[in-house]
Amino acid sequence: MKVNHTLVRAWLELQIKSTRGGLVTVKAKRFFTWLGRKTYCGTPSVVFWQLVESVAPELGLKVVERDIGRNGCSSKIVFLKP
């Protein structure tokens, strides 16, 4: 299954609804586990983070904290819920 805008948006909406408190932590590993994949390195991860960056503002999420991994891609982004 290819990572696309619709999947990332659906997953982020689920995270917003199911997370207690005012913060949502986004990690690629959680997303790919939700999809049923065990691997997420390389291109799929880069595409995922690009889609998260474009979809999050549409859902009213604001970045609070961003951790950058060794490869230069995000490893975790913490958002403030709307």
Helix (H, G, I), strand (E, B) or coil at 75: strand
- State the fold for domain 5-80: Ribosomal Protein S8; Chain: A, domain 1 (3.30.1370)
pLDDT reported for residue 42: 73
In this predicted model, what pLDDT tens digit does every residue of 18-61 receive, in sequence order?
988 899 999 988 999 999 987 776 778 889 989 999 999 999 99
17's enclosing H/E stretch is: helix 5-18
Q: Which two tokens stand for residue 77?
A: 């982004």
Sign of the C-alpha dihedral, residues 76, 78, 81, 82? negative
Domain boundaries, the chain: 5-80
